[in-house]
């Protein structure tokens, strides 16, 4: 934990190891997965506890994105087990408790939509296709305010910059007030202002008790918030503990980072958060 976090904050951010902490938010054990017929995960163990901020680090193709996609259910496990909030993955239905920000992409996927419409879709796991209520509209306004995009609510997402697109995706994930927030490379290709907005948002979410799982290329402004780093290498866990010092573009062994990730394409989907 960085020295800029106070002792009180450090005590808050480090969950207890006893039973009072409750079940792990994410418990992935012996995860084996393939993408496009190619083995990507080779026995990954990953635990995220309530209120904890965990960063997934590693070289391009090491399995970072595939790991989070197994957690949200879009890449199936060939072997291993997954529990979410103490429930086996096959029995877990409370997807409203999970907020997911994919790697930077066009927020509406090419479909004409306003910022408000895109963010509103983040409320669907809570009430399905029932009519929106005042509480839903208020939640959308709060999420947009938190990312500094309320004044752009009526604008088409096609007119936004890359950093603004990312803010919209973050607002969509936050609108349901999740207990677990998963972000895949949220800092990639966004401007410094948007990076600082993200750091401020995560600090607020952690303060209310949200657990956070981040796929990161480098820690950057998020470093003071990271409790633990899990470094992947060739689909295996090479490190699970304090964040490596001075993690940068080429700091991790064998790092050769090229976008898009090799483990991001042609994955077989299963029912989960994205369906």
Instruction: Tell me the domains of the chain and their CATH numbers.
Output: 7-105+178-264 (3.40.50.300)
Compute the average pLDDT of residues 40-48. Answer: 97
Q: Is the confidence at residue 226, as pLDDT, over 50?
A: yes
Rounded Cα distance, 78 and 66, in Å: 12
Q: In what order do the strands lie in the sheet with 180-184?
A: 98-101, 180-184, 211-215, 53-58, 228-233, 236-241
Question: What local confidence, expressed as pLDDT, does residue 194 receive?
Answer: 79
Question: What local confidence, expressed as pLDDT, does residue 105 receive?
Answer: 60
Q: Is the confidence at residue 36, as pLDDT, over 60?
A: yes
pLDDT interval class at 29 (50, 70, 90):
very high
Local structure of 202: helix, strand or coil: helix
pLDDT interval class at 188 (50, 70, 90):
confident
What value does the mean pLDDT of the chain take?
81
Compute the average pLDDT of residues 31-46. Answer: 94
Question: What local confidence, expressed as pLDDT, does residue 129 receive?
Answer: 67
Question: What local confidence, expressed as pLDDT, does residue 112 receive?
Answer: 81
Compute the average pLDDT of residues 155-159. Answer: 90
Compute the average pLDDT of residues 55-71. Answer: 94
pLDDT interval class at 219 (50, 70, 90):
confident
Compute the average pLDDT of residues 60-87. Answer: 95
DSSP state of 230: E
Chain position carrying tokens 């303060």: 207
Q: List the beta strands (DSSP E) in 24-114.
A: 26-35, 38-48, 53-58, 79-84, 87-88, 98-101
Contact call for residues 28 and 47 (beta carbons, < 8 A) = yes
Question: What local confidence, expressed as pLDDT, does residue 86 receive?
Answer: 96
Question: What local confidence, expressed as pLDDT, does residue 174 receive?
Answer: 94
- Per-residue CA distances from 82 to 76, 92, 125, 130 (Å): 10, 10, 21, 31
% pLDDT > 90, the chain:
55
Q: Is the confidence at residue 210, as pLDDT, over 50?
A: yes
Question: What local confidence, expressed as pLDDT, does residue 159 receive?
Answer: 87
Rounded Cα distance, 178 and 85, in Å: 12
Question: What local confidence, expressed as pLDDT, does residue 131 receive?
Answer: 78
């Amino acid at each position: 934990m960085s020295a800029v976090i106070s002792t009180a904050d450090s005590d808050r951010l480090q969950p207890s190891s006893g039973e009072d902490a409750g079940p792990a938010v994410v418990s992935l054990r012996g995860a084996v997965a393939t993408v496009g017929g190619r083995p990507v995960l080779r026995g990954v163990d990953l635990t995220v506890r309530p209120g904890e901020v965990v960063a997934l680090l590693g070289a391009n193709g090491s399995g970072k994105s595939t790991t989070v996609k197994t957690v949200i259910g879009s890449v199936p496990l060939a072997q291993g087990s997954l529990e979410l909030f103490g429930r086996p993955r096959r029995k877990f239905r409370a997807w409203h408790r999970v907020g997911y920000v994919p790697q930077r992409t066009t927020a509406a996927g090419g479909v004409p939509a306003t910022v408000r419409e895109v963010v509103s879709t983040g409320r669907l796991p809570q009430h399905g296709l029932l009519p929106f209520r005042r509480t839903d509209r208020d939640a959308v306004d709060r999420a947009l305010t938190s990312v500094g995009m309320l004044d752009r609510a009526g604008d088409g997402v096609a007119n936004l910059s890359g950093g603004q697109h990312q803010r919209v995706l973050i607002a969509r994930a936050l609108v349901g007030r999740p207990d677990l927030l998963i972000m895949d490379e949220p800092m990639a290709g966004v401007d410094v202002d948007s990076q600082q907005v993200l750091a401020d948002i995560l600090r607020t979410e952690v303060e209310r008790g949200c657990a956070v799982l981040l796929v990161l290329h480098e820690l950057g402004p998020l470093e003071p918030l990271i409790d633990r780093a899990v470094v992947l290498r060739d689909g295996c866990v090479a490190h699970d503990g304090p964040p490596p010092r001075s993690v940068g573009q080429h700091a991790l062994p064998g790092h050769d980072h090229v976008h898009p990730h090799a483990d991001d394409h042609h994955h077989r989907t299963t029912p989960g958060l994205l369906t």
